[in-house]
Structure 1
């Protein structure tokens, strides 16, 4: 790693972008080299300084002068997970930018697309160090975002070879899709916020997932992402054909399908209808009667998600809350997170929390002694999350109740609604 070259590139892209982009566009490199020599280093800054601010410095609540800190173990977990997902997000967005290039009169090239995103996002990465000073950090982050958009606008004609007059539209579409993907990644990271440690194998899985050579074989993370890329290319051709049709409705549907394919790991995924989830929330659970039920499906721009919830009443005013979520179109990113062999355990005087893999399923268990409240959740088929929580005598009561659900039947539906790319 040549830090002199990295610093020089950062300086040039920030200070003299109009002369630096032609140089970048003409350079020969690879996806692996872009990650190893630039992205892996700069993308670590937001994760590291976010950990410093959240777990070491803390967040002060105005007027009451109280500082809240995320426990160090959880903070480290969030740092590593956010970092890994951000690396995957960069690759997925590059696939989309590459697929959309012909629609704007450009040339397809995954390497050039990744170049564009990495160098355009430099201001946001650099400014993240100011996040430890919230008042300044927020304003700086906003300014960096605006400048990153400007850099993207300047760079696309040089990297993706599009006409300059079409750079504005290409930039706008890229930013919108990037925001959508970032929201989904944030949601996925929040789901795994209880994880406090990654094994070396987990980190290797993340690196494999972003295209840096890992072990060979059809079942490796690298092979899976390469297959994802092939499906994205097919979706991009549909967008190109829709662009030529001149039909706005057809174009919108094609872009929506492209986003859905990106989130679905290369496949288009239609979340289960609410009625399909209802049978997995029985009228009684471990002898407790169901007193409330709701189910809904939401979707936009090629994404869909379904959630079903139920409440069960027991003795002495106690209640259990069951929630089943079909992440639908986000199963690709959930699978990306699941590629890591994660596990953690932490204890206190009041309770504990632990996460582990069991029979290929990610399981999370929480217990708070003073309140006698517990949570037990499981992820099935990298698509369905099942969480049971409530005030009970002990955690085994939750485990026994959840074991009474038809988990195998739900997991068997993991490919339902999946349209292979």
Structure 2
């Protein structure tokens, strides 16, 4: 196995995709060779990272220790890995089948190349789930970049006209998202696809008796996925045009739209001073200390965050964090729409995700350490989390609810610019 060649390809497709795609399209390959020499290696990276995070490191912080049992984790690792390889091949079949519809040429090997190298961004970025708190944002950003790679690659590998690459990308992304979500449900232990059907597919309606016409409710989860795909394809086209002109400002604006998924850009995320106002000097009888806030940005994505430690000097010590995810708001909206209610019980605690008043909530509790985490997504843009030691999860929930979440939600459109 030539790992140096694999690393060089990863570096090239992520760093200079415009020049790498023609090389990829022209080189000889086979389905077996692509799997053995690249896909089986790179696709394993996020799967291993998930295992390390779930079974070795655990979830939470400030004393929270929720782990997936090693045996169950190994089973999940193997199942996740096998299904990931299957989905890779199935999406390649879809790309191949759709080629004539978008003026391309059917070729399964080229279709598999398209999936393998476009998905490289997501596979490599998936390693970031190990990073506490902010790692999932890196992983999502890498998935968005993977959509851009797909858009750039289709004209070269499948020989579709460039002007049809946007639609081709959108349809492929929807298929890939749905298939990947099914894998997540299976690996997560959710039996059947009822959650997927209820959360993601309920917005689809057949309007003709012969089934030839299908409409999608724009307010449904599937409708939001469709809109996200269209917006992403449009932003990718804007980015390509901006790169041709060399206009740096236009490139940054286009990258912001690409990251957002909803065609709008958060030009400036909330300032550290603004976020500081949501972390008072005293909270539920606890004094604030170790306050920190910052704002940073890269690749068209700007994120602000503030955190502080609160303690009553006796039994309760909590870390409270408020973050503005900026241009990830579009992806956050889709995540909130398609995420089903889930709950995982252990011998000494639980972890569950659910929606409360249109806000995505995740809570974790460990009865042995008497510690946990309560986090909520506000207005599909902001995240608020309290973690640490408490008498029960209700105290962590109360700390989050004591913050002015309605005021935070009222700032959801601050700093946003349209198309």
TM-score class, shorter: 0.5 to 0.7
Shift, 1:294, TM fit: 0.9
Q: Which residue of 2 aligns with 1:402?
A: 400
Q: Which residue of 1 aligns with 2:369?
A: 371
- Of 314, 317, 320, the match for 1:316: 314
- Of 283, 290, 293, the match for 1:292: 290
Q: Is the 8 A contact 1:195 1:342 kept in 2?
A: no
Q: Which residue of 2 aligns with 1:344?
A: 342
Shift, 1:121, TM fit: 3.6
Shift, 1:407, TM fit: 1.0
Shift, 1:214, TM fit: 7.0
Shift, 1:123, TM fit: 4.7
User: For residues 287 and 385 of structure 1, what CA distance do their matches in structure 2 show?
Assistant: 23
- Of 249, 253, 257, the match for 2:253: 257
Q: Is the 8 A contact 2:228 2:330 kept in 1?
A: no
* 1:259-274 aligned within 5 A: 259-265=255-261, 266-270=263-267, 271-274=269-272
Unaligned runs of 5+ in 2: 1-23, 30-38, 57-67, 96-101, 121-148, 163-184, 207-212
Shift, 1:236, TM fit: 5.7
Call closer, same or farther: CA 1:161–1:289 in 2, change over 3 Å.
same
Shift, 1:221, TM fit: 3.8
User: For residues 109 and 379 of structure 2, what CA distance do their matches in structure 1 show?
Assistant: 34
Q: Is the 8 A contact 1:116 1:159 kept in 2?
A: no
Unaligned runs of 5+ in 1: 1-15, 22-41, 60-66, 95-108, 128-148, 163-191
User: For residues 310 and 339 of structure 1, what CA distance do their matches in structure 2 show?
Assistant: 30
Shift, 1:275, TM fit: 1.4
Shift, 1:291, TM fit: 1.2
User: For residues 110 and 269 of structure 1, what CA distance do their matches in structure 2 show?
Assistant: 35
Call closer, same or farther: CA 1:355–1:397 in 2, change over 3 Å.
same
Q: Which residue of 1 aligns with 2:358?
A: 360
Shift, 1:223, TM fit: 3.9
**Residue 156 of structure 1 pairs with residue 152 of structure 2:** no
Q: Is the 8 A contact 1:374 1:395 kept in 2?
A: yes
User: For residues 324 and 343 of structure 2, what CA distance do their matches in structure 1 show?
Assistant: 27
Q: Which residue of 2 aligns with 1:220?
A: 220
Shift, 1:235, TM fit: 4.5
**Residue 120 of structure 1 pairs with residue 117 of structure 2:** no
User: For residues 331 and 73 of structure 2, what CA distance do their matches in structure 1 show?
Assistant: 26
**What is the DSSP-based 3-state SS (H/G/I as helix, E as strand, rest coil) of the residue aligned with 1:307?**
strand
Cα deviation 1:165-198 (Å, max 9, x = unaligned) = xxxxxxxxxxxxxxxxxxxxxxxxxxx9x97648
Shift, 1:302, TM fit: 1.1
Call closer, same or farther: CA 1:233–1:158 in 2, change over 3 Å.
closer
Please, what TM-score do these two structures have when normalized by structure 1?
Answer: 0.55
Shift, 1:50, TM fit: 3.8
- Of 194, 197, 205, the match for 1:200: 194
User: For residues 267 and 126 of structure 1, what CA distance do their matches in structure 2 show?
Assistant: 24
- Report the aligned-residue RMSD: 5.2
User: For residues 297 and 117 of structure 1, what CA distance do their matches in structure 2 show?
Assistant: 42
**What is the DSSP-based 3-state SS (H/G/I as helix, E as strand, rest coil) of the residue aligned with 1:339?**
helix
User: For residues 201 and 103 of structure 2, what CA distance do their matches in structure 1 show?
Assistant: 17
**What is the DSSP-based 3-state SS (H/G/I as helix, E as strand, rest coil) of the residue aligned with 1:347?**
strand
**What is the DSSP-based 3-state SS (H/G/I as helix, E as strand, rest coil) of the residue aligned with 2:375?**
strand
* 1:78-227 aligned within 5 A: 79=80, 118-123=111-116, 156=156, 159=159, 197=190, 200-202=194-196, 205-206=199-200, 216-227=216-227
Call closer, same or farther: CA 1:343–1:208 in 2, change over 3 Å.
closer
Cα deviation 1:193-239 (Å, max 9, x = unaligned) = x97648624356556999x9975333134543554456556646755
Shift, 1:349, TM fit: 2.7
Shift, 1:288, TM fit: 0.4
**What is the DSSP-based 3-state SS (H/G/I as helix, E as strand, rest coil) of the residue aligned with 1:315?**
coil
